[in-house]
Amino acid sequence: MSLVTQQRRLAAAIRDGADAAGLLAGDCATGLEVYRHAYRVRLAAALADNYTVLSRALGDAGFDALAQAYVAARPSRHPSIRWFGHELAGFMAEAGEGLVPHAGLVDIARMDWALRTAFDAADAAPPDAAALVALGPDDWAGLVLHLQASVQRVALAHAIEPAWRALREWEPESGADPPELPEPVPHAHELLAWRQGQETRWRSLEPLEARLLDAVAAGQTFALLCERAADELGDADAAAPAVVGALQRWLADGLLRRP
């Protein structure tokens, strides 16, 4: 048996409970079970770290049950444990009420992951504001904007932001009682998440801004952004001021980078 085969079989024995006969010398059952337990515990801890608010929403027992089910169904395949859990929201959407008692919890998971991804994204220098001010009318038409890597957009089906904020601000280790949470009501919308400096930020997107961000992500020019705004508003005269207003907000929020 080659070393690679031995390593793969041992990994399967730890991860999936596969037969380890012939892999280890002596009575290895106890030691192997210790490794199996440690593997599951470590992955569950990584999930709790990536999904802080979700873990608070479910409570210790509820989150542990979800984590163990996820570890069994979606074992880690990435070399970095940081990315373990990227499929959790999709897994939750298909799980029963025993693991996910309210559909709004899926949206909480999506929001948690978007903000964690935004925090870990690479940073880049912002646009040169002075250079933008100095642009002439013809230059503006062909201007192409670029989004920071931290910019994340996620579709949500419920108004979970008030509950998410309350849980994020709650400090269980202080002994404070859990916050009283409003039940998330159905509300299809899109959330924008990003990092500004060392702080993650988020807000809901209005349809016009969502379309403009679509255009920016597609590499379209400022002139085409104005066309999109005109279509959305049904008013060509209001398009350019609307795009300029969005640009000013994006610059203030730190959503844009230099080419």
Residues whose CB is less than 8 angstroms from the CB of residue 33 and which lie 6 or more positions away in sequence, other chains included: none
Q: Is 31 exposed, middle or buried, given 0-12, 13-18 or 19+ CB atoms closer than 10 A?
A: exposed
Kindly report which listed range (30-34, 63-67, 74-78, 173-177) carries the lowest average pLDDT score.
30-34
The 10 Å CB-count burial string (b at 16+, else e) for 159-169 is bbbebbebbee
How high is the pLDDT of residue 29?
62
pLDDT in tens, 113-160: 999 999 999 999 999 989 998 999 889 999 999 999 999 999 999 999
Measured between alpha carbons, how far apart are the two ends of the chain, in Å?
A: 52
In the sheet that holds 186-196, the strands lie side by side as 152-158, 186-196, 199-205
Strand stretches in 78-172, DSSP E: 146-147, 152-158
Contacts of 8 (CB under 8 A, 6+ apart): none
